[in-house]
Amino acid sequence: MPIRPPRPAAALALLLAASGGVARADDAELHTFHCLHGCPIGAPGIDDIVVREIYTLASNDLTKMADWVAYRVTPASIGPSGERAWSADPWLDPAETLEKEDYEEAPRTLGIDRGHQAPLAGQSGTPFAADTHILSNITPQGAALNQGPWQRLEAKENDLARTRNTAVYVLTGPLFERVMPPLPKADERHRVPSGYWKVLVTTDGRLAAFIMDTAAPRTLDYCAARVTLDEVELRSRLGMFPRLARRAFADLSPELGCPA
């Protein structure tokens, strides 16, 4: 599992700890402040772990999508969305990631947006907002989903961080539960997601989880997409919060505008 090093000026602490000081794929632990209670486990060993100042992700060499992305929203990190300048991930081999040309004609022919996994608005208060546009953080997401319920849920993340003056930790990623049409201009092997999951958690032990289909209508109430943490883990085939010996979370969804 290759680890892409942060740029020299980064203030992140990234540690791979393994027995005897030797990092092996079967016992390595990833330590990054984006992941509360540990980063997800169970992603393929071919994934590249990319750690940036505003997110950590596991980029899959086969699908060319991130199996999971972890980020943290705080009152200070939130800002107005600015210009979008898409770019391939410079820390990945060209054969391991998509380029901006691969998305040409896809919005028109497939009805998709370039959907951020770590969202722009939640990081626009930082000097690193442009890193949200790197294509390892982007997926081809249904336009109605991206501009409708998914965006409204992201706005609620920001509202919660502001109103409660707290950090909101988010894990998110794609689902591949049916075959989707490929990007028409992509020249690399890849796979378009059929849906998305998201788990939000706070340091005081509250959690909310959601799954939405990429074909969800713009009018979908994101509260209707609430699921259990177990369902997210089973469908994503990932284990969340591996450093917790006992998982007993209170319901965070009322703080996101959902009925208890």
Q: Which residues contact 215 (CB under 8 A, 6 or more apart)?
A: 142, 144, 145
pLDDT for res 84: 84
pLDDT tens for 201-239 read: 999 999 999 999 999 999 999 999 999 999 999 999 999
Do the beta carbons of residue 201 and residue 195 sit within 8 Å? no
Which residues, in sequence order, are bridge partners of residue 58? Answer: 49, 68
pLDDT tens for 174-203 read: 999 999 999 999 999 999 999 999 999 999
pLDDT for res 30: 83
Q: Indicate whether 157 pLDDT > 90.
A: yes
Q: What is the mean pLDDT of residues 75-84?
A: 88
Which of residues 201 and 15 earns the better pLDDT score?
201
Assign 253 to helix, strand or coil.
helix
Q: Indicate whether 24 pLDDT > 80.
A: no
Assign 83 to helix, strand or coil.
coil
Q: How confident is the model at residue 250 (pLDDT cuts 50, 70, 90)?
A: very high
**Domain ranges in the chain?**
3-256
CATH code 3.40.50.2000 for 3-256: no
116 part of the active site: yes
pLDDT tens for 122-135 read: 999 999 999 999 99
Q: Indicate whether 77 pLDDT > 60.
A: yes
Residue 37 has which token pair?
């209670």
Which one from 34, 37, 116, 190 is the annotated catalytic residue? Answer: 116
DSSP string, 147-183: HTHHHHHHHHHHHHHHHTT--EEEEEEEE--S--PPP
Q: How confident is the model at residue 246 (pLDDT cuts 50, 70, 90)?
A: confident
> Which amino acid is present at 226?
R
